Every structure is written in structure tokens, then in C-alpha cells.
């Protein structure tokens, strides 16, 4: 049960060299991101850029990087995603702010319903179109939720699960799906914003000329904020080391839970269990006086470091021949899912939110197709000062959503359920959940027939009814 295979000095030395190259790639990515205006314009993350550089230099490209190095990076991603998830529930408290309450329930229903579409629709597309035409694996149906809602981190972590079901291509396809989702979320989101400003759907942004994104790459000294706070004396232990120790305890708890549950759920990955382990640890510490020693920002720094290197290594380890082989089914799936997300946005959004439907919907669109960072970026574009309360509601609902979907526990067991119970059963159940959510939202007044809603002109500081 406990791993006892020693790691020799040669392996450790090679891994140190691989990490050094990974760091060099990220540094180059940061430099290029700051210097090339086109990359600034499209907000390309430095880590994603560095990953593509690694992909170009790798065994399927210029062959300057060895397959052993790139494979090691891919394996490392499965470990780093555990560090991203482990502290997610440690030190978290429910926050409320003005404007958040009125949008909380609609956002929660809307996000869950949108995510359910990414479960049942890909299943039915896969078994009715992609399997008959292209002979893809049934697990192909999981790539949208894993890649789009989950992002590169989740896709990298799920590579282990796919391998356990003898679908080695799944890891590469999951990362490819995440990359497609990132492009869809940003470019699609900007197009939607431009169109909606012209149509008058936005509450705060009234003119496309107002859509000026801040491209401040290096933060001036007077604007700098602390990345973390020291909560414990350095005479006792370094604060960063203390938080890393708590994180590793969460991983340890998750590891034991994974081993216990493996008998019942074969292929269960470690990262969601580590998150639950962090939740248990948080519950225990919150009952003691030591809870005040927890600094959430320090955990966020650890998560940030892990995620940046994870993305570089994961993207660089994508197998190009696999992407080429599955290009057509990926294209078909992506186009159909994009159309479904656009329908969900324009049809369900105005019916789910009584006020500020566009702002509340655009942050969920960005999160469903890309990652939370893109969703929040799109929201800041149309509501930079948080006047609508959509941003506050998004943060308020996060503890009730993130642990389960969009890279959470249900995401991690979705492939396992699909193999264990079959696509028809799983597709039917997720469709039923969507319908139940819809009818509950309708019966509670969250969903309503489309009317002529109030349009709040926050830029003028008054409300008007059109």
C-alpha cells in the first residue's frame, strides 16, 4: 500500500535538469509575452506560450528536447495538479457583499445547468455520430467537460485515469481540448461582448470604445500588493514551509482515501481526494486557535507556481500525431459544443437573471468554455468596477460548485462512471439532472419567461426601464 521503490541519484539528477529546462522555457515565455504586442492583445498566458515552444522543440518538432524529458514533464503534471487542488478548501470562508445575494441562486443554477450540458450532450454526440463515423473511444465524450470546464490542469491530471482504461491518447486529447476551449472562451467571449454592446444587452458598458483592456505587464512599485502574509514567526518556521506542510498533509489524507476507495472506484485520481483531505484538515484546524495562522494568499501562491509549471509541461508533452489523427472528430465535437454554449448563453441567460443578465452570463460562459481566469477577465471587461454584483456572486457560489464540477470530484469520476455503467445510462442520468435543475429553477422563480427586463445604466448612476 505504501510506495517503497527508491529513486536513484541518476534519476534525481535527470529530473533536476528537466525542471531547469522547464524553468527556462517559462522564463522565455514571460519575456515574449511582455515584448510581443500581439500576444498582449490576445492575453496569451506565458505558461501556455512556453508550452507551445516546448512542443515545437520536442520530439514531434525540432527534436531538440528528448522524449524522456517531455514524458517526465507530462508525468510531473499529474503530481502538480494535486498541489493545485489540495489547498482549495483550506482557509476558505463564505463571503458576502452588496449585490451578491440577488445573483447567487441564479448563478448557481445557471452554472450547474451549463455544466450538465457538457456531460450529456457530448455523450450523445459521441455515441450517435463520432463512434459510428470515426470509431473513437467512448471516453471521447468526457473531453469537453475535462478540457473546457476543467482546463489544462484537470486535463493533465486526468491522463492517469485515461491510461488506466487503456486509452493512452486521452491525456493528449484532453490537453488539446483544453487549448481549444481557451481559444473559444477568449475569442468567442470578445466577439459576444462586441455584439452585445451594440445590441444594448450590457448594463455597464455602453460603448465599444470603452473596451480598453489594461496591458500593464510589470506592476509599478506604488501599485504592488503583498502576494502573501506572514502569519508565523520565522523563529518557529518559515511561513511558506508551514503552509506547504499543511498542503502535504492534505495530500496524505487524500492518498489514504484514494487507496481505500480504489477497490470500489478503480482509476480514481488523487487530486480530488487531496482536495477533500484539505477540507477535512480545514474542518479540524478551524476548531483550534491555530486557524489564524492560515493565510489563503500563501496557498494561492503555491497553487499558482504549480499551475504555471503544470501548463508548460503538459502542453509541451502533447503528442502531435495523436492530435492529427483525431483532428476531425475533435473539430465536430468542438463546433457542436460551441453552438450549444452559445444557445445556452443567449437563450437561458436572459431567463435566469432578472437583472444584469449579460454580466452574470458572460462570466459563466468564459468559465464553461475556458477557465475561471478567462471568465473573470471577460466580466471585468464589461463590469470593471463590479457594479452589477456578478463578480461577488461568482465568488460566493464557488465553494458550492468548484469542488464538484469543472475539474472537481464529479469530473474526475465521470470517465469511470461512463466505463462502469455505459454511455446511454450516464448520458440519460446527466440529462435528467439538467431537467431537474431546470424545473426546480422554474418552480422557485429563478427561471422565468423572457420579458423586457430593467436595464441598469450604471455608467450614469441611474436605473431606467426600456
- Is the pLDDT reported for residue 57 higher than 60? yes
Q: How confident is the model at residue 429 (pLDDT cuts 50, 70, 90)?
A: very high
Mean pLDDT over 417-441 rounds to: 94
pLDDT of residue 58: 93
- What span, in angstroms and rounded, lies between the C-alpha atoms of 86 and 80? 10
pLDDT of residue 261: 85
pLDDT of residue 159: 85
Q: How confident is the model at residue 140 (pLDDT cuts 50, 70, 90)?
A: very high
pLDDT of residue 25: 97
Mean pLDDT over 335-351 rounds to: 95
Tell me the per-residue pLDDT of 348-384, one tens digit each, with 9 for 90 and over: 999 999 888 999 999 999 999 987 777 877 888 888 7
| 313 or 39: which leads in pLDDT | 313
- Look over the chain and give the mean of its residue pLDDT values, rounded to a whole number: 85
- Is the pLDDT reported for residue 436 higher than 90? yes
pLDDT of residue 456: 52
pLDDT of residue 8: 65
b/e sequence 45-56, b meaning 16+ C-beta within 10 Å: bbbbbbbbbbbe
pLDDT of residue 227: 65
Tell me the per-residue pLDDT of 257-291, one tens digit each, with 9 for 90 and over: 988 988 877 777 888 888 889 989 999 999 998 99
Highest mean pLDDT among 128-132, 288-292, 453-457 belongs to 128-132
- Is the pLDDT reported for residue 69 higher than 50? yes
pLDDT of residue 26: 96
- What span, in angstroms and rounded, lies between the C-alpha atoms of 451 and 443? 17
pLDDT of residue 466: 35
Instruction: Sketch the domain layout of the chain as residue ranges.
Output: 100-210+321-446
Tell me the per-residue pLDDT of 308-330, one tens digit each, with 9 for 90 and over: 898 898 889 888 999 999 999 99
pLDDT of residue 235: 85
pLDDT of residue 192: 93
Quote the percentage of the chain above a pLDDT of 70: 87
Highest mean pLDDT among 229-243, 260-274, 386-400, 449-463 belongs to 229-243
pLDDT of residue 39: 80
Quote the percentage of the chain above a pLDDT of 90: 43
Contact 204, 389 (CB under 8 A): no
Tell me the per-residue pLDDT of 159-207, one tens digit each, with 9 for 90 and over: 888 988 999 899 999 999 998 998 888 889 989 998 998 888 988 877 6
pLDDT of residue 100: 56
pLDDT of residue 454: 47
- What span, in angstroms and rounded, lies between the C-alpha atoms of 184 and 148? 9
pLDDT of residue 464: 38
Q: How confident is the model at residue 465 (pLDDT cuts 50, 70, 90)?
A: very low
Q: Of the ranges 60-64, 155-159, 203-207, 331-335, which one carries the lowest mean pLDDT score?
A: 203-207
- Is the pLDDT reported for residue 453 higher than 60? no
- Is the pLDDT reported for residue 35 higher than 70? yes
Mean pLDDT over 7-36 rounds to: 89
Amino acid at each position: 500500500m505504501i510506495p517503497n521503490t527508491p529513486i536513484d541519484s541518476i534519476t534525481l539528477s535527470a529530473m533536476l535538469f528537466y525542471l531547469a529546462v522547464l524553468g527556462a522555457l517559462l522564463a522565455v515565455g514571460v519575456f515574449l509575452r511582455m515584448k510581443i504586442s500581439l500576444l498582449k492583445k490576445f492575453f496569451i498566458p506565458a505558461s501556455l506560450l512556453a508550452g507551445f515552444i516546448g512542443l515545437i522543440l520536442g520530439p514531434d518538432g525540432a527534436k531538440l528536447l528528448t522524449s524522456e524529458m517531455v514524458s517526465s514533464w507530462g508525468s510531473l503534471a499529474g503530481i502538480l495538479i494535486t498541489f493545485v487542488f489540495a489547498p482549495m478548501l483550506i482557509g476558505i470562508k463564505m463571503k458576502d457583499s452588496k449585490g451578491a445575494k440577488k445573483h447567487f441562486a441564479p448563478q448557481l443554477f445557471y452554472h450547474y445547468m451549463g455544466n450538465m450540458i457538457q456531460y450529456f450532450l457530448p455523450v450523445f454526440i459521441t455515441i450517435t455520430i463520432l463512434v459510428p463515423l470515426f470509431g473513437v473511444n467512448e471516453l471521447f465524450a468526457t473531453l469537453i467537460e475535462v478540457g473546457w470546464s476543467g482546463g489544462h490542469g484537470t486535463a493533465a491530471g486526468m491522463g492517469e485515469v485515461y491510461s488506466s482504461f487503456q486509452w493512452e491518447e486521452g491525456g493528449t486529447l484532453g490537453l488539446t481540448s483544453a487549448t481549444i476551449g481557451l481559444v473559444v472562451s477568449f475569442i468567442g467571449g470578445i466577439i459576444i461582448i462586441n455584439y452585445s454592446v451594440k445590441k444594448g444587452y450590457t448594463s455597464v458598458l455602453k460603448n465599444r470604445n470603452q473596451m480598453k483592456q489594461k496591458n500593464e505587464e510589470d506592476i509599478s512599485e506604488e501599485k504592488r500588493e503583498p502576494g502573501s502574509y506572514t502569519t508565523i514567526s520565522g523563529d518557529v518556521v518559515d511561513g511558506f514551509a508551514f503552509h506547504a506542510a499543511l498542503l502535504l498533509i492534505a495530500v496524505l489524507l487524500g492518498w489514504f482515501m484514494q487507496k481505500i476507495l480504489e477497490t470500489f472506484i478503480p482509476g480514481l485520481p488523487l487530486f480530488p481526494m487531496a482536495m477533500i483531505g484539505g477540507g477535512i484538515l480545514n474542518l479540524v484546524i478551524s476548531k483550534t486557535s491555530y486557524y489564524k495562522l492560515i493565510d489563503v494568499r500563501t496557498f494561492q501562491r503555491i497553487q499558482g507556481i504549480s499551475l504555471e509549471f503544470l501548463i508548460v509541461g503538459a502542453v509541451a508533452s502533447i503528442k502531435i500525431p495523436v492530435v492529427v489523427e483525431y483532428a476531425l472528430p475533435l473539430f465536430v465535437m468542438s463546433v457542436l459544443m460551441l453552438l450549444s454554449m452559445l444557445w445556452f448563453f443567449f437563450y437561458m441567460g436572459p431567463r435566469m437573471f432578472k437583472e444584469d443578465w449579460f454580466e452574470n452570463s458572460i462570466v459563466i460562459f468564459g468559465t464553461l468554455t475556458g477557465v475561471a481566469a478567462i471568465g473573470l477577465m471577460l466580466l471585468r471587461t464589461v463590469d470593471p468596477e463590479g457594479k452589477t454584483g456578478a463578480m461577488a456572486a461568482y465568488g460566493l457560489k464557488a465553494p458550492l460548485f468548484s469542488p464538484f464540477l469543472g475539474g472537481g470530484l464529479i469530473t474526475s469520476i465521470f470517465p469511470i462512471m461512463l466505463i462502469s455503467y455505459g454511455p446511454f445510462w450516464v448520458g440519460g442520468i446527466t440529462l435528467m439532472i439538467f431537467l431537474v435543475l431546470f424545473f426546480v429553477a422554474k418552480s422557485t422563480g429563478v427561471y422565468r419567461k423572457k420579458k423586457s427586463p430593467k436595464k441598469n445604466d450604471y455608467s450614469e448612476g441611474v436605473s431606467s426601464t426600456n
